[in-house]
Structure 1
Amino acid sequence: MKTFRVIACAALVLLWTGAALAQDLPDKVQKRYEALKSFQADFDQELTNAATREVEKRTGVMGFQNPGLVRWETLTPEKQLLVVGKESVWDYIESEGQAIHYRSDQAFTSKTMIRFLSGQANLKEDFKVVMQGQDLELNKVKLIPKEPEPGLVLAYLWVDDEGTVKRVFIVDFYGNGNLVALKNFQQGYKHPADAFTFTPPKGVTILDNTKQ
């Protein structure tokens, strides 16, 4: 499902933002991640279908607040809002007049994904890290999951010298690609009180999956 491919990508972004590149990279990443409280950034996204080679381009805004609250708002080519709250997840597709409601434990069946979003991810435990040198004038890093999952079998990061992630590329079990480039990153961003809650607009069809 595209929604959770998006979440996987967001999770990796959360882990790597602000990480310093050095020989003791995993420890530095862990310390930076634990210190990260909140951020907001614009994103450009490309979803590539492995079978057809079709590429869907999206733009939007991503917000994060510790522990594990995510707001992923797609603005083009159509509006879609994904809100990861404390106990539930909402996926609202405006053009379809539909909102899907999940419990958090339903949405995040991936063990690694849960650990990322809850701030418990450990780079040394979860990945083999391979430095790839310079690419696009950035430091390229390859992440190989020690326990591959359907939504994440391989990932690449492009990080600047200050340690800020600029691009993330995730490959799933079927070979589909999810590339996200971040812009206008604002660390310590103060989100509105209702940023990580969602109330369906009147007239919207609600698909309640919370009791399944």
Structure 2
Amino acid sequence: MRPLAAAALLLAAAGAARADAVEALRDFVREAKTGRAAFTQTVTAPDGAKKKSSSGSFEFARPNRFRFEYRKPYEQLIVADGQKVWIFDADLQQASARPLAQALGATPAALLAGGALDKDFNLSNLPSAQGLDWVQAMPRDKEAVFQSLRVAFKGRTLAAIEVVDSFGQHSRLDFNELATNVPVPAEDFRFVPPKGVTVVE
């Protein structure tokens, strides 16, 4: 085989591999009706100098119900019940709520738990890196609160999400032990403010 022909085949194969990452994301949104995973989140300041790490668990049930439960280094709960998104800070004994449509929009949570992937995002393929296949998901809404969103798959399994917000801060969520289409209790997506907690709506 001629070198140019071989190079063309390699490029075509690489393009097909990246296209598979976009299809993996579409398949995930279409086929994963429920799911749960452990996660580790790393937030890096715009200058790259400061990093903060946290960890917890994540659950979702389509459409528009999810639960992020942060356990370390401090407890925080983010729950979407299909109508509102609640944020509860246990240390501050404070809870806030916003209408779902207002809080969700074209956000990483919407990408994971929503159902309008191609309506809300422009998808494009990125080169594989760190042993993962990456997809760029850019919000169609020009008023979105982040600059860029990348989603990584290992094979057909969701592995990570990276977000750069409007201030240049980087956040990365790495998922472990992801299980999809498993029973998730409906009460996990309900939030009732504990007695004595300040509620801001």
Is residue 170 of structure 1 aligned with residue 163 of structure 2?
A: yes
Q: Is the 8 A contact 1:150 1:172 kept in 2?
A: no
2:41 is matched with which residue? 45
1:130 is matched with which residue? 125
Consecutive unaligned residues in structure 2, runs of 5 or more: 1-15
1:123-202 matches, cutoff 5 A: 126-133=121-128, 135-145=129-139, 147-161=141-155, 163-202=156-195
Consecutive unaligned residues in structure 1, runs of 5 or more: 1-19
2:66 is matched with which residue? 70
The count of aligned residue pairs is 184
Q: Aligned pair in 2 of structure 1 residues 90, 115: CA closer, same or farther (>3 Å)?
A: closer
**Aligned equivalents of 1:56, 1:24: Cα separation in 2:** 32
- 1:36, distance to aligned residue in structure 2 (A): 1.7
Q: Is the 8 A contact 2:121 2:137 kept in 1?
A: no
**Aligned equivalents of 1:115, 1:57: Cα separation in 2:** 22
Indicate the percent of aligned positions where both proteins have the same amino acid: 22
**Cα RMSD (Å):** 2.6
- 1:165, distance to aligned residue in structure 2 (A): 1.8
Report the residue type matching 1:132 in the other structure. Answer: P
Deviation string 1:138-182 (CA, Å, 9 cap, x unpaired) is: 223344445554422222333212x11212111112111110000
- CA radius of gyration, larger in: 2
Q: Is the 8 A contact 1:88 1:101 kept in 2?
A: yes
**Aligned equivalents of 2:188, 2:87: Cα separation in 1:** 14
Q: Aligned pair in 2 of structure 1 residues 36, 131: CA closer, same or farther (>3 Å)?
A: same
- 1:29, distance to aligned residue in structure 2 (A): 3.8
**Aligned equivalents of 2:158, 2:22: Cα separation in 1:** 15
2:9 is matched with which residue? none
**Aligned equivalents of 2:28, 2:56: Cα separation in 1:** 25
1:33 is matched with which residue? 29
1:95 is matched with which residue? 91
